[in-house]
Amino acid sequence: MLQDTGDLAGALHYIEKARSILAEIAPLSIEHATALNNVGGIHFAKGDLDQARHFYQEASDLLGRIAPHSSQYAGSLNSIGKVFHVSGDLQSALALFQRALSCDESIATESLNVARDLNSIGIIYRELGDLTSALKAHRDSLHIFRRVAPGSHSTAAAINNLGLVYQDQGEDVRALECFTAAADMVARTSPLSNDHATYLNNGGSINASRGD
């Protein structure tokens, strides 16, 4: 709750206490790994990437020992990948997202976690300039999101990300269709959100480039 209100220092204090207790009473448990991951998440939110990576890695190492075929382990790999992504190490990020995808697909071929991993992979491929691979990853991600979370913010984000790839490919009509669909989806539940504004702005940039 403190994290949700922006009190990261307060959140870190309580989560660190929980981690210390779990390290004593249940060091080889998923609960301890979750606490480590939560500490990493606070540091990530604070922009302290070294500490975020440290705790995410501790959580991942622990989960790799006690639950190597779990969604929690895949999530820890995805979290480390996000740190590498923000740090600019795209190849390391991609490798971790792909490992997370393999783990999640071994649990269920169509799940929110698989869709998340594919979305992360698509973003990295786009930033690397591999638009063909990015397009495939985002299409696959969107296909799953539409099946398991239709009308959600995650689905809207997947549509927007697909639109960004189309825009990079010079396919303005398809890009505009995606941005419009994403904006309309978010407008139904959160018309005054940053996401809605972003998708509208993306659509506006297409219209401006076309002189509309």
CA distances from 58 to 34, 64, 88, 152 (A): 10, 10, 21, 32
Q: How far is residue 180's CA from residue 173's CA, in Å, rounded to a whole number?
A: 11
Closest C-alpha to 58, from 28, 100, 15: 28
pLDDT of residue 211: 66
Closest C-alpha to 124, from 153, 95, 101: 95
Residue 145 Cα to chain centre, angstroms:
13
Q: What average pLDDT does this structure show over 189-202?
A: 92
Q: What is the average pLDDT value for the chain, to the nearest integer? A: 93
Q: What average pLDDT does this structure show over 89-98?
A: 98
Q: How far is residue 68's CA from residue 102's CA, in Å, rounded to a whole number?
A: 12
Amino acid at 116: R
pLDDT of residue 208: 79
pLDDT in tens, 96-110: 999 999 999 999 999
CB neighbour list of residue 48: distance below 8 Å, 6 or more residues apart: none
pLDDT confidence bin for 69, thresholds 50/70/90: very high
pLDDT of residue 171: 96
pLDDT of residue 59: 97
- Two tokens at 65? 């020992």
Span of 13-17, 23-27, 40-44 with lowest mean pLDDT: 13-17
Res. 33: pLDDT tops 70: yes
